[in-house]
């Protein structure tokens, strides 16, 4: 079911400062900020040859990242995203296996314009998992 790691997401309190650190200190290519109101975040992607690092900043008071940063004010790893071939088949398999899909269980469109789902961290050893469909069916 799982393919490659799509990205590792890091919640940050200041996306401009985090972007500058990755760009200027680490020499990485960093995308422009992208606001995703339906997910409550602003994101940038640090592009690496073998994967990406997603930097997340809260967008609005209801952002799920706000609660994470309240517990981790300096930021930290928020989730890991894996590619899957068929997000609906993956969801159905996971639900049948007893895993909890967050939200209403229906995929939303993520930052790459592809369907995504999140899985409850308590079912995966404390790690929030995002699944992203590799290509749109």
Question: To the nearest 10°, the Cα dihedral for 123, 85, 90, 100?
Answer: 40
Q: Would strands 41-47 and 52-58 be described as parallel, antiparallel, or unpaired?
A: antiparallel
3-class SS at 125? coil
3-class SS at 74? coil
Q: Is 54 noted as a catalytic residue in this protein?
A: no
Which residue among 54, 57, 130, 132 is the active-site one? Answer: 130
As given in the structure block, the two tokens for residue 115 are: 């369907």
Active site residues: 130
């Amino acid at each position: 079911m799982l393919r490659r790691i799509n990205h590792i997401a890091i919640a940050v309190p200041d996306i401009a400062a985090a972007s500058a650190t990755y760009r200027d200190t680490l020499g990485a290519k960093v995308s422009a900020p992208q606001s995703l109101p339906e997910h409550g975040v602003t994101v940038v992607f640090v592009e690496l040859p073998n994967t990406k690092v997603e930097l997340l900043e809260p967008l609005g008071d209801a952002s799920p990242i706000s609660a994470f940063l309240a517990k981790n004010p300096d930021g930290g790893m928020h989730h890991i995203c894996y590619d899957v071939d068929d997000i609906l088949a993956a969801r159905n398999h996971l639900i049948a296996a007893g895993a909890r899909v967050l939200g209403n269980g229906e995929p939303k469109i993520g930052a790459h314009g592809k369907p995504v789902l999140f899985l409850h961290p308590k079912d995966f050893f404390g790690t929030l998992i995002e699944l992203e469909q590799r290509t749109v069916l």
